[in-house]
């Protein structure tokens, strides 16, 4: 083995880079002699010093490289800070609209994540520089601190973006709740409408279902016809309302007259060629739900059973009612 080769092994071992003796390292590097032969080889102190100086130069170069890496790390940290500021601006802009906030928040989160990755990379570079040269440790630590600060700022920006996203989600939830409430109100209104329609239909069909009669309601004066035989004539108007029985109704004619709703009275009177009488002259219904049965006992001489009062106004005959423009409401006051 040459002296130069042996000296390289000695210097390498002196730096403690392998933890092996010079001979052990020489064997690893391909030396095939015995330990005695290896130990007998001369070592020149002057050459060892030169080799040590060369190794110091190598270490110095490594320190410079570490310094450059620290500068790069600082630049990366500055870039991360800029990205964090941009993310903060985007988060503030996101506040103006729920949809825009969600998009800006996503962008800010991405930027924050990128900044965090850059900071981690800068920290790794600083740690690597510290490992390569202890003399550059202070600079590398400074770079690490700057990188940590950048990471903190990036995390703060990310948190702000997350808060903006949360606010946007809250706004969306509130809008959804309002829509649901409006839908519920509409449903309730529709249900109320349907209930009213059902109630109306129930009222219209109630008597038919209970007593087996066909119920027909009228809001103005009514002239009975043979088609009303067997029906319930329900009057629903206010004021005084007349029901006329003309001559010529069937011999078996029978119907029921009721004052169903309204304020006033329903008066049953004879029409053209016919008369209507009642017990003690009671041919009127003055209370709600009062009713009477009208029968053709003798042809064209009809009887009302069940009237609860005598008419409060003079009966109007069928001929007068038949005049053009006449109505039950108007004629009720023509004495």
Query: Does any domain span residue 183?
Result: no
Q: What value does the mean pLDDT of the chain take?
A: 77
Sheet of strand 275-278, all strands in order from the earlier edge strand to the far edge: 214-218, 231-235, 254-259, 291-298, 301-305, 275-278
Sheet of strand 264-270, all strands in order from the earlier edge strand to the far edge: 222-223, 239-245, 264-270, 284-285
pLDDT of residue 283: 95
As a whole number of Å, the end-to-end CA separation of the chain is: 153
Between vectors from CA 157 to CA 153 and to CA 158, what angle results, nearest 5°?
A: 115
Judged on CB neighbours under 10 Å (0-12, 13-18, 19+), 219 is middle
Mean pLDDT value across residues 151-161: 85
Strands (E) in the chain, as ranges, are 214-218, 222-223, 231-235, 239-245, 254-259, 264-270, 275-278, 284-285, 291-298, 301-305
Are 58 and 166 within one domain?
Answer: yes
Are 289 and 322 within one domain?
Answer: yes
Are 167 and 114 within one domain?
Answer: yes
Contact 276, 318 (CB under 8 A): no
Per-residue pLDDT at 230 exceeds 90: yes
pLDDT in tens, 269-321: 999 999 999 999 999 999 999 999 999 999 999 999 998 888 877 655 555 55
| Alpha-carbon gap, residue 74 to 87, rounded angstroms | 20
Give SS3 for 278.
strand
96-105, 183-192, 228-237, 249-258: least confident range: 96-105
| Alpha-carbon gap, residue 108 to 168, rounded angstroms | 14
Query: Does any domain span residue 65?
Result: yes
Query: Does any domain span residue 126?
Result: yes
Query: Does any domain span residue 201?
Result: no
- Which string of DSSP letters, residue by residue, matches 151-199? HHHHHHHHHHHHHHHHHHHHHHHHHHHHHHHHHHHHHHHHHHHHHHHHH
Residue 244 CA to its chain's centroid (Å) = 63
pLDDT of residue 218: 86
Are 221 and 174 within one domain?
Answer: no
Dihedral (C-alpha) 24, 29, 33, 34: value to the nearest 10 degrees?
0
Per-residue pLDDT at 153 exceeds 60: yes
Please, which residues bridge with residue 244 across strands? 223, 269
Per-residue pLDDT at 168 exceeds 60: yes
Mean pLDDT value across residues 173-180: 80
Per-residue pLDDT at 107 exceeds 80: yes
Number of structural domains in the chain: 3
> Parallel, antiparallel, or unpaired for β 291-298 and 254-259?
antiparallel
Are 14 and 71 within one domain?
Answer: no
pTM: 0.36
Mean pLDDT value across residues 328-334: 42
Q: What residue numbers bound the domain in which 267 lies?
A: 214-331
| Alpha-carbon gap, residue 107 to 164, rounded angstroms | 12
Give SS3 for 212.
coil
Confidence class of residue 203 from pLDDT cuts 50, 70 and 90?
A: very low
Are 74 and 100 within one domain?
Answer: yes
Give SS3 for 285.
strand
Query: Does any domain span residue 208?
Result: no
Say which residues have a Cβ less than 8 Å from residue 87's Cβ, sequence separation at least 6.
Answer: 107, 108, 109, 111, 112, 115, 154, 157, 158, 160, 161
Name the phi and psi angles at 230, rounded to 5: 85, 0
pLDDT of residue 247: 96
pLDDT in tens, 3-18: 544 544 444 444 455 6
Query: Does any domain span residue 59?
Result: yes
Contact 255, 232 (CB under 8 A): yes
Per-residue pLDDT at 84 exceeds 50: yes
Nearest to 283 by CA among 241, 260, 311, 250: 311
In the chain, the percentage of residues whose pLDDT exceeds 70 is 69
Query: Does any domain span residue 61?
Result: yes
């Amino acid at each position: 083995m040459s002296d130069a080769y042996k000296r390289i092994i000695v210097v390498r071992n002196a730096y403690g880079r392998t933890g092996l003796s010079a001979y052990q390292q020489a064997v690893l590097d391909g030396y095939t002699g015995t330990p005695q032969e290896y130990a007998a080889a001369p070592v020149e102190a002057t050459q060892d010093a030169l080799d040590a100086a060369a190794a110091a130069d190598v270490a110095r170069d490594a320190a410079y490289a570490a310094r450059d890496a620290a500068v790069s790390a600082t630049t990366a940290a500055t870039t991360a800070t800029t990205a964090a500021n941009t993310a903060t601006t985007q988060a503030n802009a996101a506040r103006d609209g729920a949809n825009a906030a969600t998009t800006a928040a996503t962008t800010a989160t991405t930027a924050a994540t990128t900044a965090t990755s850059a900071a981690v990379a800068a920290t790794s570079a600083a740690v690597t520089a510290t490992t390569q040269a202890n003399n550059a440790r202070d600079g590398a630590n400074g770079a690490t601190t700057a990188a940590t600060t950048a990471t903190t700022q990036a995390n703060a920006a990310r948190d702000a973006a997350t808060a903006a996203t949360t606010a946007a989600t809250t706004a969306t939830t509130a809008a959804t709740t309002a829509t649901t409430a409006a839908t519920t109100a509409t449903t309730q209104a529709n249900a109320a409408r349907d209930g009213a329609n059902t109630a109306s239909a129930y009222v219209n069909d109630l008597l038919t279902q209970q007593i087996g009669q066909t119920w027909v309601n009228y809001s103005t004066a009514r002239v009975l016809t043979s088609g009303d035989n067997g029906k319930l004539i329900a009057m629903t108007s206010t004021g005084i309302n007349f029901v006329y029985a003309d001559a010529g109704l069937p011999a078996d004619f029978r119907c029921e007259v009721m004052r169903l709703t309204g304020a006033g009275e329903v008066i049953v009177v004879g029409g053209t060629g016919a008369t209507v009488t009642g017990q003690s002259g009671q041919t009127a219904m003055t209370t709600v739900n009062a009713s009477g049965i009208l029968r053709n006992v003798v042809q064209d001489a009809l009887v009302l059973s069940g009237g609860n009062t005598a008419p409060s106004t003079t009966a109007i005959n069928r001929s007068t009612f038949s005049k053009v423009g006449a109505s039950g409401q108007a004629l009720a006051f023509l004495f």
